Each structure stands twice: as C-alpha cells, then as structure tokens.
Chain A
C-alpha cells in the first residue's frame, strides 16, 4: 500500500509527520507492505496511486503558498475523495478545501471548494486549547490540541462535538468536517499517534482489517484522557 504525505516540508509545524509513521506501521501490522511518498510544491502527483493521503498544519503564510500549488490539483483530489479512499487533513490544511480564506489584511484567497465553508483569519489573538472531541463513529473521545487564528463558518454537519477546546467557529460546538472517507479536523500535531482508536478506525478503512493498537499509545492516551477529563470537571 502507498501513503502520500503531501507538503511534508511546509505543513509540518507541530510534529505532524508522526501521523504518517503511525498509519504506515498499522498498515504493516495488518500484513501489507507499505511505502511513503513525500511530495511538495510542483511535484507530480497521481492521487489514484495512493491508499492514504495526509496533509498537516502550517503557518498562515505557508498555507497560502501551499494553496496556490494545491488548486490545480483540486479535481484530482476531489476524484480521490469521491472514490471513497481515505485522507486526513489536520490543522489549517483543511481550510484549503472551503470556498475562500480571508487573511488578516482582508485579502481573499479562493479555496478548492470541496466544501461550502468560508475561513476568516485574524492576527490579534492566537486561539490555543487542549481539546476533547466526541464522534459517533468512535467509542472513546478524541484528544489533542488546537492552535489557530481563524474562524470557519458554514459547516452544517461537523465531524466532532466539542467537549473541551475550540470548534470550527466560536459560536458553535461542532468541529471538523467529513466527506466520505476524507477526515478534516483543526487538531494539530500527531493526532493519529495520540488517538489509538481513531487510528485503528482509519486503518480498517484503509486495509479492511482490524489491527491491534500500539500498547504504549493506548497507555499514553489513557493518561491524557484522564488529565483532560479532570480539566473538564474543574
């Protein structure tokens, strides 16, 4: 099987490369061989070759430069998503999939319009928070960290429900968005490494097999859930 780590050298602000390692090892554990291709600006990509596509978070300026490179790939990526294959976009990378991104100077950038949402950035306050989200397709909450300066409006069916942390926009309790097997969340960092159930869920979608999670990841997850739940109860 093949993993595509897109914009690995730009959209990798919070240790996101670990998500690719986590998926690679689960695929190998399922009994399949697995290779990882790292691609960036201007490189030729045939999404159809891949079984899992990942893009992580970058700076606001990094995201805009990536967006310019991504737009010509829009139709190919859309076809990948519509074929039901699995992709994960974390942090501000998924903002590229909406209608527009407006930066803090008021300049508007066209998005790739896989979704109807719009994004507005500001440069005054960094909104950061530990996060606990729940989803229908997971029995246990998702844990992680949010680090952003944007509001995302126009997502009517978010993927997660926010128990702690920040949602797509400040006046809602929903976070992220899903379409087929494309998963989008503003959580930053090694989301798959930190969330063994989310990883096994996605591994099943990629490989069709149930794979046992890494024991250390499970133990680490339990500590984080305990800490964050204590935070919620405070």
Chain B
C-alpha cells in the first residue's frame, strides 16, 4: 500500500511539475521522505545501466537512449540530467506501474560522480560505464583522485564495469578484476608522441606513483600508457576505435563500422564509442549501431549553430572549470580550414554555485588557437582581464585579441563585415547571454 501511495504521489507531483515547468528532483525528494527505501521495493528491469565520469555523461546517455530506442527497446532515462538520488527516484517511480514494476526494458541513469555512492546503495546497476576522470569543477570536486575515491565506494559487487582503457585513473577501477569490459582507441592519425597539455595528469602511475611512459597520446593524458615500475598498463580493448579522420569527419569502430561525424571532435568519438559499447552489450548489432549514429546531432543543446548578421557560426558549450572540455572546443575551432574567428566568454564561472576562481584558465591550452585557421579572438565577460592575462602567456599575437567586459559589446564587435565563420566557446552559465543576441537555427 505504501509503495502504491508513494508512486501515486510521485507521479502526481511529476505531472504538476511538468505543467508548471519545475525540475525533476522534487517529486523524488518527497517520495524518499514518504518511503525512504522505495527504490529497493520496486521491481527493476533486467538492464540497469549507469554512466558516470567527468565529461560526456549527458551526451553518452543521450546516444545510448537513441540507439536502444531505434532498436525497439523501451528506455527510461534521466534526460534532464537530474542525476542525484532524488532525480533518479523520480525517474524510476515515474516509469513504474502502481504495483511497483518499472515498465521499461532498460533503466539508464546518468549519475553524478559525487552522489553515485548514495544512489547505488538503493539501486544497483547491472552495468556501470565510467567515461573519464579529469580536472573538472575542482572548486567543488576537489581533484580527480578525490573523485576516484568517491566513485570507488559506488561500485557494487556483481556490477559489470565498462571502462575507458585509455584513461589511466579510470582503468584503475578495473585493476585485477576479471569481468571488466574495456573500450578505447587504437593509435590514431591525430595522436601525438609527446604530451600536448599545460599539465600532465599521466606523469605518474596511479597504482604505485612511479613514472609512466606513453607510446601514444590521443589528447591530454588519454592514450597508451605503461608504468615503468609496477607493470600497470593500458588494458587491451573489447570495443575499439580503429581509425579516425577528423578532417573528413569519419570514425571506424572495430575495423568495420564506419560512422560519419556531425561533430568532429575526439570528445565526440569517445562518447560514440561508449554508447556503441553499451548497445553491443545489450545485444544490438554493430552495423545497426553505426547506422543509427551516422551524422547524429546531439539534441541536448550543447552544440548550436547560429546566424549573426551576415555571419554564421557554432556555439560549442564547454564547461568552465574543465580544461579538457575547453581544449576539445579549441581543437575544433583551430582545425576549421576555411578560417574562423573565435569568441570566448567567462562571465559567471558556475550557474549552480558561486565562485570567482579562474585558476582553471591556466590549465587550458589556448595556444591551440595559434593556428592559421584562426583570425580574430574575442574575449568577453566579467573575467575578461583574467582571460587576457592568460593569453599574454601564449604565443598568439596580441593584435589578434579583442577584449570586452560587456558581452553585448563583444557580440556587436563580431557583427561586422567579416565573413569568417564564428566559433563561440562558453559554458552553460554564460551561453544564454550570447544566444540572446544571435539567431539560432
């Protein structure tokens, strides 16, 4: 009776919440008050797939849901990204019958790194994807090893881990474990032999802290690593990106599945690979997955094309306080052969909490914009001085850089007779201020 009542209340609150445009945490919060162990009292589907990691969670989850739905599976997932316990509770109960049975074939959960250990106490994933561990929002996350320790507590016995073999810290979750599924990339044409990054989080072995060497770097500390001392090294992969042509916009998985890329970033190919891996585990044919992912454009609003006067451009939502996210966006802009101008906005560091910390700017490889493909660079927002100071420590000629504290003035400057394509790079917290001034497509 309690289960019935709790599910009823949750569904009602969710229904009303949707009408008045409220988020999806509140119904779950109330449900947990009414019945704290509600998640262990409902009947869950055969597949409970959780995805966590610093970057790419939301995109990966969206891709998994897309592929599985296309192949006739019903998927319950937290598309609004409310990935703490309350949001997950709302998701589960909204998809349950009043008798307490979740109706979908697959429950797909994007989970916050810090809260996974609480969520999975009540709801044990059958499969657990960990995409990567980067320097991400360190003002609240501490650092990657701190997040590693928090995630370690979230891994339950009997859950199959699906890990990124190219990330040395993530791979540590699978050390000495037998039933892990590994995904990763072979040596790629875009790889480098030496590290190209302002910092090196792969310098020392995460297992024994002795120096590591890399035979190839995909980006930052993601690549093929081996410890010089304890034998810890990149694991062989079960699902593999075998080649990538970023210019041509194509990737190949497992040597045979070609996928054309709507977004030509290494970031994107890892998200596709992890989605592919999950879909294969669920039993979808590789060729089917590839067909479903061809030219797939994410619907989560992170990549938005726009017009500004006679100019066209793309907004690449990049996470403030996350240098790898920025680096990926800078890489896309710097590789744009037709020539582009780049705008970077740092106005509110976070949309969820206050901080004025800009130390993360020093971890971003802004030198990537020292490319003949990049014309003007427009810096904007409250922290424009910190941005400009950071650019003083690049080899980019000062005359290329234009600074505006006011975002409107910066956009007006860009709304000129120049013909170059525009890449706007900023975060969720600041993108609205830019989009208000351009025509979206």
Q: Are B140 and A59 in contact (CB-based, < 8 A)?
A: no
Cβ 8 A contact of A61, one of B141, B145, B388: B145
Residue of A nearest to B206 (CB): A61
Cβ 8 A contact of B389, one of A10, A188, A193: A193
Complex: A17 Cα to B385 Cα, angstroms:
19
Cβ 8 A contact of B138, one of A143, A147, A217, A223: A147
Rounded to whole Å, the gap between the CB of A71 and the closest CB of chain B is 16
A residues within 8 A CB of B141? 126
Cβ 8 A contact of A216, one of B140, B142, B144, B389: B389
Cβ 8 A contact of A130, one of B357, B382, B383: B357
Q: Are A14 and B145 in contact (CB-based, < 8 A)?
A: no
Q: A216-B385, A223-B382, A231-B354 are in contact. Are A189 and B203 (CB under 8 A)?
A: no
Q: Are A145 and B139 in contact (CB-based, < 8 A)?
A: yes
Cβ 8 A contact of A220, one of B140, B142, B363, B385: B385
Q: A10-B203, A223-B385 are in contact. Are A145 and B209 (CB under 8 A)?
A: no
Cβ 8 A contact of B142, one of A126, A190, A231: A126
Rounded to whole Å, the gap between the CB of A222 and the closest CB of chain B is 8
Q: Are B362 and A149 in contact (CB-based, < 8 A)?
A: no
Q: Are B199 and A126 in contact (CB-based, < 8 A)?
A: no
CB of B361 within 8 Å of the partner chain:
yes
Complex: A143 Cα to B143 Cα, angstroms:
21
CB of A214 within 8 Å of the partner chain:
yes
Q: A60-B145, A128-B140, A220-B383 are in contact. Are A21 and B357 (CB under 8 A)?
A: no
Residue of A nearest to B201 (CB): A13
Q: Are B357 and A214 in contact (CB-based, < 8 A)?
A: no
Complex: A155 Cα to B359 Cα, angstroms:
27
Q: Are A17 and B362 in contact (CB-based, < 8 A)?
A: yes
Q: Are A216 and B357 in contact (CB-based, < 8 A)?
A: no
Residue of B nearest to A68 (CB): B209
Q: Are A18 and B362 in contact (CB-based, < 8 A)?
A: yes
Complex: A224 Cα to B303 Cα, angstroms:
30
A residues within 8 A CB of B363? 14-15
Q: Are A9 and B149 in contact (CB-based, < 8 A)?
A: no
B residues within 8 A CB of A144? 357
Complex: A47 Cα to B158 Cα, angstroms:
53
Complex: A9 Cα to B389 Cα, angstroms:
23
Rounded to whole Å, the gap between the CB of B390 and the closest CB of chain A is 8
Binary CB contact string for chain A from 129 to 151 against chain B (1 if under 8 A, 0 otherwise) = 01000000000000111010100
Residue of B nearest to A216 (CB): B389
Q: Are B209 and A61 in contact (CB-based, < 8 A)?
A: yes
A residues within 8 A CB of B356? 130, 143, 223-224, 227-228
Complex: A206 Cα to B355 Cα, angstroms:
32
B residues within 8 A CB of A62? 145, 204, 209
Complex: A14 Cα to B142 Cα, angstroms:
10
CB of B15 within 8 Å of the partner chain:
no
Rounded to whole Å, the gap between the CB of A6 and the closest CB of chain B is 15
Size class of B's contact patch?
Answer: 35 or more
CB of B146 within 8 Å of the partner chain:
yes
CB of B392 within 8 Å of the partner chain:
yes
From 83 to 142 in chain B, residues with beta carbon under 8 angstroms from any chain A beta carbon are: 135, 138-142
Rounded to whole Å, the gap between the CB of B195 and the closest CB of chain A is 11
Q: Are A147 and B139 in contact (CB-based, < 8 A)?
A: yes
Cβ 8 A contact of B143, one of A59, A130, A224: A59
Residue of B nearest to A10 (CB): B204
Q: Are A18 and B355 in contact (CB-based, < 8 A)?
A: no
Q: Are A149 and B142 in contact (CB-based, < 8 A)?
A: yes
CB of B386 within 8 Å of the partner chain:
yes
CB of A156 within 8 Å of the partner chain:
no
Q: A9-B200, A10-B204 are in contact. Are A130 and B389 (CB under 8 A)?
A: no
A residues within 8 A CB of B199? 12, 15, 17
B residues within 8 A CB of A130? 354-357
B residues within 8 A CB of A65? 204, 209
Residue of B nearest to A227 (CB): B356
Residue of B nearest to A231 (CB): B354
CB of B360 within 8 Å of the partner chain:
yes
Complex: A214 Cα to B209 Cα, angstroms:
38
Rounded to whole Å, the gap between the CB of A86 and the closest CB of chain B is 22
Q: A14-B138, A147-B138, A193-B389 are in contact. Are A126 and B146 (CB under 8 A)?
A: yes
B residues within 8 A CB of A123? 149
Q: Are A145 and B389 in contact (CB-based, < 8 A)?
A: no
Complex: A27 Cα to B129 Cα, angstroms:
49
Q: Are A59 and B145 in contact (CB-based, < 8 A)?
A: yes
Q: Are B142 and A128 in contact (CB-based, < 8 A)?
A: yes
Binary CB contact string for chain A from 57 to 79 against chain B (1 if under 8 A, 0 otherwise) = 00111100100000000000000
Rounded to whole Å, the gap between the CB of B428 and the closest CB of chain A is 19
Residue of A nearest to B146 (CB): A126
Q: Are A128 and B389 in contact (CB-based, < 8 A)?
A: no
Complex: A10 Cα to B209 Cα, angstroms:
10
A residues within 8 A CB of B140? 126, 128
A residues within 8 A CB of B382? 223, 227
CB of A219 within 8 Å of the partner chain:
yes
A residues within 8 A CB of B359? 14-15, 18, 145, 188-190, 194
Residue of A nearest to B153 (CB): A123
Complex: A220 Cα to B405 Cα, angstroms:
11
Rounded to whole Å, the gap between the CB of A231 and the closest CB of chain B is 6
Q: Are B392 and A216 in contact (CB-based, < 8 A)?
A: yes
B residues within 8 A CB of A59? 143-146
Q: Are B361 and A13 in contact (CB-based, < 8 A)?
A: no
Q: A15-B359, A223-B382 are in contact. Are A214 and B142 (CB under 8 A)?
A: no
Add 19 more A-B contacts to A9-B203, A223-B386 (CB < 8 A).
A9-B200, A13-B143, A14-B359, A17-B362, A59-B145, A59-B146, A62-B145, A144-B357, A145-B139, A145-B357, A147-B138, A147-B139, A190-B359, A190-B362, A193-B389, A216-B386, A217-B389, A220-B383, A224-B356
A to B CB contacts below 8 Å, 11 in the list: A10-B203, A15-B361, A60-B145, A128-B142, A144-B357, A145-B359, A188-B359, A190-B359, A193-B389, A227-B356, A227-B382
4 interchain residue pairs of minimum CB distance: A189-B359, A15-B362, A220-B385, A126-B142
